[in-house]
Amino acid sequence: MGELASPGIESMAETGSKSALTGEVNSAIGSGEAEYLLSGPGIGNSPGSASMTFQVSASHPLASIVSMIAPSPDWFVGVDSLPLAVAGVWLDEVVVSLAPYDSGTDSGVSYSSFNQDTQPPEPIFDLSDEYPFEGTPPLGTFTFTLLSVEGCLADFNDDTFVNTQDVLAFLNAWNAGDASADINADQTVNTQDVLAFLNLWTSGCG
């Protein structure tokens, strides 16, 4: 929020298309900024629900998910960089109430407004206090439920062994400021992450 929508976010919010956004996520995966692409089903009727199963790893413990509000000019719901672990420990459940967001790319003010391209585009903003959402409850929830834990968070290099190589791999990532070194998932790579990792490493995978 507060930034201009990417072409992928614009297309998703205005039409529900995933194509451009999928390309952006795959580029992020290629550069190491993301690990997995999540693509779940839509919800045809309200109230309704949809579910999917996916994996996360210690090196990428944050989730970003968006979904179009349909029909709408350019509205969507979502979470950005949501921590699924705290201090290196996976959370059993995370529940997020969903607020409506405007992608800043269409100036329509109602669900069925005609296309009104916003020029220049505006930063993404929260519509909770704007018509037609003012005074209404959250549009829904995202619920993240831990099903199982595979592997070991202390095995930073994922070679199935917990040894000094994991410390070296972590320190290399930490020195580079890589997001994978954000062990406590506070979106900042600092000495607190070193302490969190060393606590995990000392505990091992027993």
Q: Specify if 126 maps to a domain.
A: yes
pLDDT at 205 over 90: no
Among 84-93, 94-103, 174-183, whose mean pLDDT is lowest? 84-93
139 and 175 belong to one structural domain: no
Q: What is the pLDDT of residue 121?
A: 97
118 and 33 belong to one structural domain: yes
30 and 75 belong to one structural domain: yes
Torsions phi, psi for 144 (to 5 deg): -105, 120
38 and 100 belong to one structural domain: yes
Its domain, for residue 180, covers: 164-203
Q: Specify if 151 maps to a domain.
A: no
Say whether the peptide bond before residue 123 is cis (omega within 30 degrees of 0): no
Interval 34-90: pLDDT, tens: 999 999 988 988 899 999 999 888 778 899 999 999 999 999 999 999 999 887 778
Q: Specify if 2 maps to a domain.
A: no
Give the number of domains in the chain: 2
Percent of the chain with pLDDT over 70: 99
15 and 103 belong to one structural domain: yes
Interval 140-156: pLDDT, tens: 999 999 998 776 778 88
Q: Is residue 206 very low, low, confident or very high in pLDDT (cuts 50, 70, 90)?
A: low
From residue 109, alpha-carbon distances to 77, 117, 137, 171, 184 in Å are 16, 12, 19, 50, 40
108 and 195 belong to one structural domain: no
92 and 132 belong to one structural domain: yes
16 and 47 belong to one structural domain: yes
